[in-house]
Structure 1
Amino acid sequence: MFIYIKHGDNNQFLVNTNCPTVVLTEYIKTRLGLAESELIDLCDERGVLKFLFLPQNSQQSARGLLKAKESFSVCIIKRTSDGAYNSVTSLLSGIDPAVKETLKTQIDNLEKTRLKQLHTVEARMATSEEINAQALSTKTTKKRKKVTHASAPDEEVQRHTGDRKSRN
Structure 2
Amino acid sequence: MFITVLHGEHKADIFNVRCKVRLLLDCIKSRCGYEEEGEIELADETGQIKNLILNQHRCAAELLGERETYVLLSVARGENSSKIEFTPRLQDDSVVNQKFLAKLGSWQDPKAPSPRVKSRKTHHKKSTLDIPAVDGLRNHSPHGSRTRTPMTSPRQSRRL
Which TM bucket (shorter chain)? 0.5 to 0.7
Deviation at 1:83, TM superposition (A): 1.2
1:76 and 2:77 correspond? no
Counterpart in the other structure of 1:110: 109
Q: What TM-score do you get using the length of structure 1 for normalisation? A: 0.61
CA contact (8 A) 2:42 2:49 kept: yes
Counterpart in the other structure of 1:101: 102
Deviation at 1:74, TM superposition (A): 0.5
Q: Looking at secondary structure, tell me which structure has more helix per residue.
A: 1
CA contact (8 A) 1:77 1:85 kept: no
Measure, in 1, the Cα distance between the counterparts of 2:39 and 2:106. Answer: 18
- Report sequence identity in percent: 27
Q: Of residues 73, 81, 85 in structure 2, which corresponds to 1:87?
A: 85
Counterpart in the other structure of 1:130: none
Q: What is the count of residue pairs matched by the alignment? A: 111
Name structure 1 gaps, 5 residues minimum.
Answer: 118-168
Q: Looking at secondary structure, tell me which structure has more strand per residue.
A: 2
Counterpart in the other structure of 1:14: 14
CA contact (8 A) 1:26 1:36 kept: no
Per-residue CA deviations over 1:4-23 (Å, capped at 9, x if unaligned) read 01111221011000000000
1:137-152 map, 5 Å: none
Q: What TM-score do you get using the length of structure 2 for normalisation? A: 0.64
Tell me which stretches of 4 or more aligned residues in structure 1 moved more than 4 Å. Answer: none
Counterpart in the other structure of 1:34: 34
Question: Are the structure 2 counterparts of residues 81 and 37 from structure 1 closer, same or farther at C-alpha, using a change threshold of 3 Å?
Answer: farther
Measure, in 1, the Cα distance between the counterparts of 2:90 and 2:37. Answer: 20
